[in-house]
A and B are shown apart, each in its own frame.
Chain A
Amino acid sequence: GEDVEQSLFLSVREGDSSVINCTYTDSSSTYLYWYKQEPGAGLQLLTYIFSNMDMKQDQRLTVLLNKKDKHLSLRIADTQTGDSAIYFCAESFSPHNAGNMLTFGGGTRLMVKP
């Protein structure tokens, strides 16, 4: 079955860059996502990358995909205290007649210190 793994915790200082890493096992993944969950809130889609891309940049966010090593990372430039949250990596595939379901990692709790 699919497996998505993330480190549990990351602490950075405000203004530094944060890099959250994720590894996955399913080589048939078509899309890879990063979700953000702030305390007491639902998941918010931050960004995604299609499996034939190596990199995607969106303002302060940079997603890097190493498909050979099945490694995905999310870099947040100039991290702010408002970035403190849990970040979930997720992968999707398209099984026959089953839409597009996600497999999530365990989440990385990012703590930004002033």
Chain B
Amino acid sequence: SAVISQKPSRDICQRGTSLTIQCQVDSQVTMMFWYRQQPGQSLTLIATANQGSEATYESGFVIDKFPISRPNLTFSTLTVSNMSPEDSSIYLCSVTRTGTGTNSQYFGPGTRLLVL
């Protein structure tokens, strides 16, 4: 398994400000992912955080809005920039753990963001 922590667990922010979410994993992992879960909806992949190179963003998500850092193999940050109420969501960090005959995804507890 993988133990993943996120900070902050929740925040209330004003429109136009930015929030940086931290994700810490208890062991080194190659791939880290950032998901968003908007109210009443399923998870949507924002981007893949790569160590040593720029993040890979999914359609509809751009680096200027969601800059990501991946300074090492156990840590990543996601910044939600110039926030609007539409950014109110749960943001989840996720990692892949690959082993013999298995391939699992593990998720952090999520950061619940409310933008006023």
Contact = CB atoms under 8 A, between A and B. Distances in A.
Nearest to A30: B103
Given A100-B98, A101-B48, A106-B41, 4 more contacts: A42-B92, A100-B31, A102-B43, A102-B105
Query: Which of B41, B104, B109 is most buried by chain A, counting CB atoms within 10 A of its CB?
Result: B104
13 contacts: A33-B104, A33-B105, A42-B109, A44-B107, A92-B105, A99-B30, A99-B33, A99-B96, A100-B31, A100-B98, A101-B33, A102-B43, A102-B45
Contacts, number: 52
A37 B43 CA distance: 11
Nearest to B111: A42
Contact of A100 (B101, B103, B109): B103
A88 B43 contact: yes
Interface of B: 30-31, 33, 41-43, 45, 48, 56, 92, 94, 96, 98, 101-110
Interface residues of A, number: 23
